[in-house]
Amino acid sequence: MHFYKHGVHWLILSRRTIMLKITLTLLLFFNLSQLKAQEYIYISSDGLAKILRADIGYTQFNLTPKDSATQSVNAIHLNNEVKILTGKKGEKYPITIYDAFYFNLALGLLSSEPQQNGEEKESSFAFTFDFGYTFLAGYRNKQLGLLGGVDFRWRAADANGITMPDLNGDITYYSRPLVIRGEYALFNKSRVVGTIWYDDGNAERASFKSTKLMFSLGEEQRYWFMVQYVNQSAKGQNIFKSYDPTEVAFTQFIIGLHIGILP
């Protein structure tokens, strides 16, 4: 029995170590790739500013296992996007392409007391990250736009001993939502953009449903106020107390600043 518990504990640590290494490696890659050109990114209309976008803000995400209490986390939200096709053809009217490789990261602390099992206490540190590739195409002019496409997305999350996916699953869980984006220019030349993601999930994919609104701050449409809500469900597990895997609902609210030139 002692050997079994030791093995489970080692497996849990290994799983967390792998997830954290993936998160930090991706974050380091994005940061190092931009280090020397940081003073130009997102500011000048030339060079890297045309192929990079970013989000920064506050987020609260929640993990709710079936028949268990919700684990809430207050965190910093960071997102980095790199345009591929968009940088070459995306600004031409009326046919528009919007695409990006992206990496989202949220790091924060529990809003409640960590779990405790005897003298052992869970950490209050929590995180979630997702990465993938989005491709949209459609019609866009100076007044309005309508684009549609698909998003290939992988996510993992960990809060208060609740991990998604579960230990028997993959390192991340996969979703492939369809995406619709609409735009409309307001009277003061600012622009409002709404995006909807929808994947109801199946045996091979986790569900993913999200809505995002952005409002441009000024005529240049380089800086945007943004809000987003995410709702997912997938298999997860309380690894701190070694409970069996169960369905876990993941929700996230994000508010902050989007920096980058559309499309």
Each residue of 82-137: pLDDT tens digit? Answer: 988 875 544 556 788 899 999 999 999 999 888 777 777 788 999 999 999 999 99
Report residue 182 as tokens.
Answer: 């609409």
Distance (Å) of CA 30 to CA 50, 54, 119, 262: 16, 11, 39, 20
Q: Is the pLDDT of residue 15 over 60?
A: no
Q: Is the pLDDT of residue 152 over 60?
A: yes
Helix (H, G, I), strand (E, B) or coil at 205: coil
Euclidean distance between CA atoms 250 and 63, whole angstroms: 5
Bridge pairing between strands 95-110 and 116-117: unpaired
Residue 47 pLDDT? 55
Q: H-helix or E-strand containing 81? A: strand 71-82
Euclidean distance between CA atoms 130 and 121, whole angstroms: 27
Residue 24 pLDDT? 56
Phi, psi of 24 (to 5 degrees): -70, -35
Enter the DSSP assignment of 4.
H
Domains of the chain listed by start with CATH number? 2-259 (2.40.128)
Q: Are 100 and 82 in contact (CB under 8 A)?
A: yes
Distance (Å) of CA 202 to CA 144, 207, 229: 34, 7, 21
Q: Are 73 and 126 in contact (CB under 8 A)?
A: yes
Q: Are 171 and 18 in contact (CB under 8 A)?
A: yes
> Which amino acid is residue 161, in one-letter code?
G
Average the pLDDT over each of 30-34, 197-201, 209-213, 222-226 and give the range with the smallest value: 30-34
What is the band of 261 on the pLDDT scale with cuts at 50, 70, 90? confident
Report the helix count and the strand count for the chain, using DSSP H and E: 2, 14
- Look-up of token digits 């005529």: 219
Q: H-helix or E-strand containing 235? A: strand 223-238
